Structure 1
Amino acid sequence: MAALEIDGLDVHYGGVHALRGLSLTVGEGEVVALLGNNGAGKTTTLSAVSGLVRPSAGRITYEGRDIIGAKASAIVRLGLVHVPEGRRVFSTLSVHDNLLLGGYAVRDQAEVKRRIDRVYGLLPRLAERAGQQGGTLSGGEQQMLAIGRALVTGPRLLLLDEPSMGLAPLVVAAVMDVIREINAEGTAVLLVEQNARAALKIAHRGYVIENGACVLTGTAADLRDDARVAEAYLGGTAR
C-alpha cells in the first residue's frame, strides 16, 4: 500500500493557480524527491498534504485514509509530520526542550524519552548541545534539531522542505546521510530539495513539477541520466 497518494490536486491562492491537477505517490519505505524551480508548487504540495492549505480539487490519501479537510494537528497524530522550510526552532528554548515539544501529542512520557534518546543517538551533536538555546546553534545544527523534533513526534511519513537550504556542502552531505538513515529505519520521506543532485543520490524515485503540474517522473537513476533534468537542475551534467 502506498503511504501517500495525491490525485488531481488543485490549489488556488486567490487568483493564483498554484497546483494544477498534481498527482504523485510515495510508497511505504520510499524516499521520493520533489524537484522544481522556485515557485513551481513544491512547498504548496507539502502544505496541502499536512493540512496547512486547503485544496480546491483533488484527493489526498494517507495510508488509505482520505485526509482532505483534516486539521493539521490531526494529521500529525496520524504519523504524517512536516518539517517546513526555514527550520523554525524555538530559539529561546534549549535543544532538549525543543525535542520535548515534538512529543506534545504523545501521552506516554517513557516513549517520548525513548524517542529523544534515539534522536541523540542518531544526532550526537544535539546530545552535546542539549542544554544550549536553539537560536545559538549553527544553521546545520538547527536543521538537525528541526528534523530531530519531528522524529520525536513519531512519523511514518516525513515531509521535508528544503533541508539543505543555506548550508555548506559538507553539512548538506551530513543532512542527507541523516535522511538516508531515517529512511533505512522504515520512515517514508517526501523530500522537497533545491539541491537536485543531493536529493537524487538518496531518493528512490522523483517527480519534476513546473507551474504546479508534474512534467516528469521516474526512478532517481533515470532522472539523473535525463538530459532535461541535467540541464535544468544538475548544472548541465547528468549524474
Structure 2
Amino acid sequence: MSWLEVEDADVFYGRVHALRGLSFAVEQGEIVCLLGNNGAGKSTTMNLLSGLVRPKSGRVRWDGVDLAAAKPWDIVSKGLVHVPEGRRIFSTMTVHDNLLLGGYTVKDQRAIAERVDLAYSLMPRLAERRKQQGGTLSGGEQQMLAIGRALVAGPRLLLLDEPSMGLAPLVVKQVMEIIAEVNRQGTTVLLVEQNARAALRIAHRAYVVETGSVTLQGDAAELARDSRVVDAYLGA
C-alpha cells in the first residue's frame, strides 16, 4: 500500500460528478504533480484530501489515516497541510502574524518559532517584510507567505493548489525553487498545476487528470516528452 492512496474516488457537487473513479498514489519523499485544465477536478482532489469534501464512494488513505472519515482540523494536526488556490492570506495582518497563525494546531511554542525562522530563511523577502500587512505584498510574496504559513504547521505532506497562478515567469521560477527545497528538506509535496512546464521540472512523478479521472501517469521527465502532454499542455 502506498503512503497516500486514492482509490476509485467519486465526488459529487449536487448532480455534478466532479471526480469519477479517481485513483492515484504518492510515496513518502516525492513531489507528485496533478496536471489538467480548469474543471478537471484537481482542486476537488485537494479538498477531498483535506477533508473539505467527502467521497460518495472509494477509498482515501494517508499514512494509516482514513481521510474520508477524518475531520479537517485533525488532518492538519496529523501533518497534512493544504495551501489553497488563491493563497487566502489574512490581508490586514502582518507577515509575521500570518506565519504564526500557521501554528494554530501546534502546542510547542519553540517549534513554532523554529519553523517561522525556517520560513524566513527559505524566503528572505518575507523576513524583510515581516511587519508589513499581507495585503501590501506582491502576488509572488503572498504566495511565499501562504507556503511559509503552511510550513509553520509542520507538514509531512504539503498540498499546493496552483501556486504559480497569476505570477510572472521569473517569480514562478522562484516559487518552484522554494517548493523543491522544501521537498529536499524532507516534506512530501502534492502539487496541482496548470503550468505543466514549471511543475514537471521539479516533480518526480505526475498524473494527468481530465474530467475527474486519471488519463496519463508516469515519471515526470518522461511525461514532459510524451507527445500527448506536449500537445495538450506544453505547446510546440
What TM bracket, shorter-length normalisation?
Answer: over 0.9
Q: Which residue type is aligned with residue 187 of structure 1? A: T
Deviation at 1:221, TM superposition (A): 1.1
Deviation at 1:67, TM superposition (A): 1.7
| Mapping for residues 97-176 of structure 1, pairs under 5 Å | 97-176=97-176
The answer (yes or no) to whether the contact 1:10–1:57 under 8 Å persists in 2 is yes
Aligned to 1:29: 29
The answer (yes or no) to whether the contact 1:3–1:157 under 8 Å persists in 2 is no
Deviation at 1:119, TM superposition (A): 0.7
The answer (yes or no) to whether the contact 1:51–1:71 under 8 Å persists in 2 is yes
Q: Which residue type is aligned with residue 156 of structure 2? A: R
Aligned to 2:47: 47
Q: TM-score, normalised by structure 1?
A: 0.97
Runs of 4+ with >3 A deviation:
none
Deviation at 1:66, TM superposition (A): 1.4
Residues 25-70 of structure 1, C-alpha deviation per residue, up to 9 Å, x if partnerless?
1110000010011000000000000001111111111112212121
Q: Which residue type is aligned with residue 228 of structure 2? A: R
C-alpha distance in structure 2 between counterparts of 1:189 and 1:120, whole Å:
20
Structure 2 residue 197 is matched with structure 1 residue 208:
no
Structure 2 residue 222 is matched with structure 1 residue 229:
no
Aligned to 1:63: 63
C-alpha distance in structure 1 between counterparts of 2:160 and 2:114, whole Å:
23
* Secondary structure, aligned partner of 2:140: helix
* Secondary structure, aligned partner of 2:166: coil
Q: TM-score, normalised by structure 2?
A: 0.99
* Secondary structure, aligned partner of 2:131: coil
Aligned to 1:192: 192
Q: Which residue type is aligned with residue 4 of structure 1? A: L
Structure 2 residue 23 is matched with structure 1 residue 20:
no
C-alpha distance in structure 1 between counterparts of 2:25 and 2:201, whole Å:
19
Structure 2 residue 83 is matched with structure 1 residue 86:
no
C-alpha distance in structure 2 between counterparts of 1:62 and 1:85, whole Å:
22
Q: Which residue type is aligned with residue 203 of structure 1? A: A
Deviation at 1:222, TM superposition (A): 1.2
What stretches of structure 2 of length at least 5 have no aligned partner?
none
Percent identity over the alignment is 67
The answer (yes or no) to whether the contact 1:3–1:188 under 8 Å persists in 2 is no
C-alpha distance in structure 2 between counterparts of 1:49 and 1:105, whole Å:
18
C-alpha distance in structure 1 between counterparts of 2:221 and 2:105, whole Å:
38
Residues 124-176 of structure 1, C-alpha deviation per residue, up to 9 Å, x if partnerless?
10000000000000000000000000000000000000000000000000000
Deviation at 1:3, TM superposition (A): 2.9
C-alpha distance in structure 2 between counterparts of 1:15 and 1:158, whole Å:
30
* Secondary structure, aligned partner of 2:55: coil
What stretches of structure 1 of length at least 5 have no aligned partner?
none
Deviation at 1:120, TM superposition (A): 0.6
Q: Which residue type is aligned with residue 193 of structure 2? A: E
